[in-house]
Amino acid sequence: MKIVVYGASGYQGRLVLAELARRGVEPVLAGRDPARLEAAADAAGVRGAERRVARPGDPDAFRGCDGVINCAGPFSTTGEAVVRAAIAAGCHYVDTSGEQLHVKRVFDTCAAGAERAGVTVVPAATDGCVPVDLAAHLLAGRLGPVEEIVTTHLITGGGGMSRGSLRSVAETIGTIRAGGLTYHDGAWRTGQPAARARIRLPGQEETIPVMPFPVAEVVTIPRHVRAGYVAGLAEAALGDRLGVPLTPEVIASLPEGPDEDSRRSQRFTYVIDAVAADGRRARGEVRGSDTYGTTAVIAVESIRRLVAGPVGPGVLAPAQAFDPAGFLRFLGPYGVTWT
């Protein structure tokens, strides 16, 4: 199995390279800067790995390989070109994007090409979208017909974001401030009122304020769960942290990403609240640590499963491409728990 990591020299890309090497998968490093690719190969312990210098839309960067993991953000500017290049090269594709509008654009514009090429595309193969999408599918299966699904993201600790994540935030800050998309009555819409203003999180007696947030699973869940309403929330304090202006100069002055100790001290809790058509309510929870490390594990396992197949061609949500309970069980040894 031969997997290309596009954006291999970035913070998330190097974690993906290290995970591929740990699992004995042959990586190919791709990106724009040969010096940075060489440094990334050294840092990830894959000095002998092949390097390919290429711009985002060049299918030659991927030819002769089985799959592509795209870690090169901001995805809203170059992500679609990388997807199309992977399809043209006949490669299965996943990415590590959390950018909601990029995920929506991939579904809207790349599905037909992927189907014709016989390849599978799963955007947003991340710590947030994949386990939440899978858990939502299981939750809906328990409830039957679903009227509403609302997901909430809470992340504490971790030493801050990587430069790549901050560049994605800066590129999409207008969407973040507007709350992103909600799914309502069969269509994705903007400018919808918040699903709720406060939520009681697991293990807490007091409610906390929350805000609408453009999470990727709002795009994926309606692909496999029939629901009248799907929305995403995050703690309101996140809005304050993201309110600081992020110029290229500010981002360049910051560390490339959190160190390993900070990553491992981080904790995430993702809550999925569902209401059945008959009014019954149920909640799913996903917990874990180290969002960047968990994303590397999920991205590598996702592309491995697509290559091993068989999975239907096209652009798919995680729960359409993978067995939900099986994938969640796979994440258990990596510290991800779910109920």
Q: How far apart are CA 325 and CA 307, in angstroms?
A: 20
CA-only gyration radius of the chain, Å? 19
Q: How far apart are CA 215 and CA 183, in angstroms?
A: 12
What is the model's pTM? Answer: 0.96
pLDDT digits (tens, 9 = 90+) for 234-283: 998 887 777 677 888 889 888 989 999 999 899 999 999 999 999 999 99
Q: Please give the structure tokens belonging to residue 47.
A: 């000095």
Residue 235 neighbours by CB under 8 Å, 6+ apart:
152, 153, 154, 208, 209, 210, 211
Q: Distance between terminal CA atoms of the chain?
A: 33
- H-type alpha helices, the chain: 11-22, 34-44, 75-88, 100-117, 129-143, 163-171, 173-178, 217-220, 236-241, 248-253, 260-265, 291-308, 318-321, 324-331
pLDDT in tens, the chain (339 residues): 999 999 999 999 999 999 999 999 999 999 999 999 999 999 888 999 999 999 999 999 999 999 999 999 999 999 999 999 999 999 999 999 999 999 999 999 999 999 999 999 999 999 999 999 999 999 999 998 999 999 999 998 887 899 999 989 988 988 988 899 999 999 999 988 888 899 998 788 899 999 999 999 999 999 999 999 999 999 988 877 776 778 888 898 889 899 999 998 999 999 999 999 999 999 999 999 999 999 999 999 999 999 998 899 999 999 999 999 999 999 999 999 999
Domain 129-290: assigned CATH number: 3.30.360.10
Domain ranges of the chain: 2-126+294-338, 129-290
**CATH fold of the domain at 2-126+294-338:** Rossmann fold (3.40.50)
pLDDT value, residue 250: 87
